[in-house]
Amino acid sequence: MAREVKEELDLDVVEANIIGNYIFERKNEVMLCYHVVTRGTVKLSPELAEYKRYKPAELRPWRRATGLAVADWMRSRNLDIVWDERPALAAVQPQTAKT
């Protein structure tokens, strides 16, 4: 994980704590999610286009995938959670190309 942070963001990991593991059924994946403390200045790898910083109280996790890890991290810091209510996956219709 520290190697990935270095490779993608050019940051050095000082401390890493696991938040939890989560099943992302839609992609048939298991995610191991960490909270990391870093040092350095962000320098994005060519694979990444941009990044944004948010204050913890501004976070709006969703009820699946990585959103569950964000919510667990917020709970560990006694932050109030305001969910980003997205439509259920069954309600999301795939987009088709228009001709």
Residue 97 lies in a domain: no
HSE on the CB side for 53, CA within 13 Å?
Answer: 3
Q: Give the pTM.
A: 0.79
Residue 40 lies in a domain: yes
Residue 75 lies in a domain: yes
Residue 28 is classified by DSSP as T
Q: Region 20-41: what's the mean pLDDT? A: 95
Supply the mean pLDDT for the chain: 91
Q: Residue 40 is part of which domain span?
A: 2-45+52-90
Rounded to an integer, what distance in angstroms lies between the CA atom of residue 17 and that of residue 5?
14
Q: How many domains does the chain divide into?
A: 1
- Taking 3-state DSSP, the helix, strand and coil percentages for the chain, each rounded to the nearest 5, stand at 30, 25, 45
Residue 98 lies in a domain: no
Rounded to an integer, what distance in angstroms lies between the CA atom of residue 18 and that of residue 77?
14
At 95, the pLDDT band (50, 70, 90 cuts) reads low
Residue 37 lies in a domain: yes
Residue 39 lies in a domain: yes
Q: List the structure tokens of 36.
A: 């990391």
Residue 99 lies in a domain: no
Residue 28 lies in a domain: yes
At 12, the pLDDT band (50, 70, 90 cuts) reads very high
